[in-house]
Structure 1
């Protein structure tokens, strides 16, 4: 999109390269955002587009062929559904240019197709600007930016964690492949470490509508998760102290100060629960801290409240024992949701009784024997499969 000298918006969508050749010779174009002159490019390789002579101060990162093609597909996808989208819509109050802007049922939306790995702070600023202005941002990431590993895992960089959103059934990341065009949705996200996420995946062609793409979710295969979880957690328990980052991990130091090697932690520590993506600290470590503070060091019959747990975790955040993923916090969700689910799991296992707003300690998860810790963990996960599944529903 560009403006002519008379101020009219001019779109390149649906125009042949032959017709654009004459227009290029006879018409001057200007950026709708910054007002600077732009060049109409109609080369053989790239999608016809406008380009700044230097860069646009509103969106200085520029655009790749992939981004141009993706915006074209997303615009046409919305248009076919009757949304009347506007491409590269400039919002002067925000000094931001939305990739695709549209309104529906009295609400305003900005669909952003993010191809460049921008800083977390810049993405968060853009997201917050939209929300303050009453615009709902819909973030879609280029699928090739998701670094898949062997097996159902991807690397959870800060950039990628920004795109995790809460769905009706599970947290998800919505990605897009421009060629051939399709949506790729990564669902049932569960961190198996600080930097690795387990996922299940589904794809949608452009014939699918907005509601189906954003809201539908395949059933959760808990059997696959538990098989992966047992293997990955077992490997981490053995090798965590050998990792280069181990010396900088306060939670590991807290375990050693209590004379507990990670492999000897109770089998009830290190359980997959929903919404764990909110916590950056390894799942085994933050659950071990709760066990140490609220079960191991307190007598049977003792009580504690969820507020005490929150206070402890907030204090732990200041000392680095527990770390949260900031993009998830910015979404306005309850960061303590996975902690509540974990305490519910311990209660259902008979270690606590919920009385009003307090937990009454009725049992203590015990450390595992050094010669049978792997066997005991595997057996426990199989026995608790049905209970774990209920936590995710």
Structure 2
């Protein structure tokens, strides 16, 4: 940490302009104490690491050892905010919630807690900290070290921990202290529990406005459909998806289908599908099976289908992703997205605000060649209608 108390009660901040010689004198003449637990801390002055205070014993709210990257990033974010003339305090202790954000910010009559996370912490602790800020009317802004993301062309690998940082602006902010860059991973459409399609926007910290943390980045390109076609082909051709999901195989076999020849209308990219760890072709096949059980032209409601989805969730056939920062959305939004997509494909007809009718049957391929060709044709139909899967749905 950068802030400690002196014996006389004054605050000592290492973010002030100290020389190495001054720090050695300070360490030789002063005692330092944690502003939270009031236990003694040591002033560490090193050539390889940044100067910082370290506890001799564990602090009451310390949960992890600070790395060089964390100290460096915290300092850079604080100095950036100060240069932007934004009121900021590093490591300010908030006694009413017993938390100490990396940087506490007051800006335009709002309070913010900027948390820069480099190491993995339990999801329960992440949720606890977040809820404490929200209950105290403090807006949490979580940034993740860029090392927690791996990129493979248009696809990204994210752990369950990284997904915790997905916020209500539908993005994950990253920070790299070595390059002094903030990056936003946005417009995410997951393909599995860990692999997702997305777009990556990078902004040098010194040219960025604080407001960037509170607005969704713009889409930059339309590579989604090419990427999706490639991935859907992999779903069909890879036996791994079916060897590891026996429940899916059992259900589709009972419906007299071959697992790799699932309907063309399953596996459609949707804006809110980030809620699902289950691959899109799996959960959408389940929903199609439910709709095929409803006679054509018989009206059914969104809530009927939603109840069936909840059944699949309770049976652990569909897995929901934990997104504690996503407070303005719900996994039911993805289901409504899907129904609207099926209306666009003329499988369903919308007859009311939340009621639908099935007007035809699904498209089941008979062989792999037909499956791949039909998938491409279906995606082309979607593109030709200029269907925007990122448009907000009612």
TM-score (norm 1): 0.93
RMSD of aligned alpha carbons: 1.8
Q: Which residue of 2 aligns with 1:63?
A: 66
Q: Which residue of 1 aligns with 2:6?
A: 4
What whole-Å deviation, never above 9, does each CA across 1:168-210 have from its counterpart, x for those lacking one?
xxx2110000012110111111112222011211111122111
Task: Give distance in 2, aligned partners of 1:102 and 1:328.
Answer: 21
Number of aligned residue pairs: 385
Q: 1:54 to 1:165 in 2, by over 3 A?
A: same
The alpha carbon displacement at 1:301 in A equals 0.8
Give the one of 269, 285, 300 matched to 1:304: 300
What are the equivalent positions in structure 2 for 1:116-265 lying under 5 Å apart? 116-146=119-149, 148-167=150-169, 171-206=170-205, 207-215=207-215, 217-222=217-222, 224-241=223-240, 245-247=244-246, 250-265=247-262
What whole-Å deviation, never above 9, does each CA across 1:89-113 have from its counterpart, x for those lacking one?
1122222211000112222110000
What whole-Å deviation, never above 9, does each CA across 1:294-349 have from its counterpart, x for those lacking one?
1x212211121111122111121111121111225863422211111110011122
Q: Which residue of 1 aligns with 2:377?
A: 379
The reply to whether residue 21 of structure 1 matches residue 17 of structure 2 is no
Give 5+ residue unaligned stretches, structure 1: none
Give the one of 103, 107, 112 matched to 1:104: 107
Asked if the contact 1:30/1:36 (under 8 Å) is kept, the reply is yes
The alpha carbon displacement at 1:216 in A equals 5.2
Give the one of 285, 302, 309 matched to 1:313: 309
Task: Give distance in 1, aligned partners of 2:59 and 2:213.
Answer: 32
Asked if the contact 2:87/2:107 (under 8 Å) is kept, the reply is no
Asked if the contact 1:55/1:62 (under 8 Å) is kept, the reply is no
Q: 1:329 to 1:301 in 2, by over 3 A?
A: farther
Q: Which residue of 2 aligns with 1:53?
A: 56
Q: Which residue of 2 aligns with 1:346?
A: 342
Task: Give distance in 1, aligned partners of 2:11 and 2:243.
Answer: 55
Asked if the contact 1:351/1:361 (under 8 Å) is kept, the reply is yes
The alpha carbon displacement at 1:58 in A equals 0.5
Give 5+ residue unaligned stretches, structure 2: none
The alpha carbon displacement at 1:359 in A equals 0.4
Task: Give distance in 2, aligned partners of 1:353 and 1:260.
Answer: 25
The alpha carbon displacement at 1:60 in A equals 2.5
Asked if the contact 2:168/2:326 (under 8 Å) is kept, the reply is no
Q: 1:180 to 1:134 in 2, by over 3 A?
A: same
TM-score (norm 2): 0.93
Task: Give distance in 2, aligned partners of 1:90 and 1:240.
Answer: 53
Q: 1:243 to 1:297 in 2, by over 3 A?
A: closer
The alpha carbon displacement at 1:389 in A equals 3.9
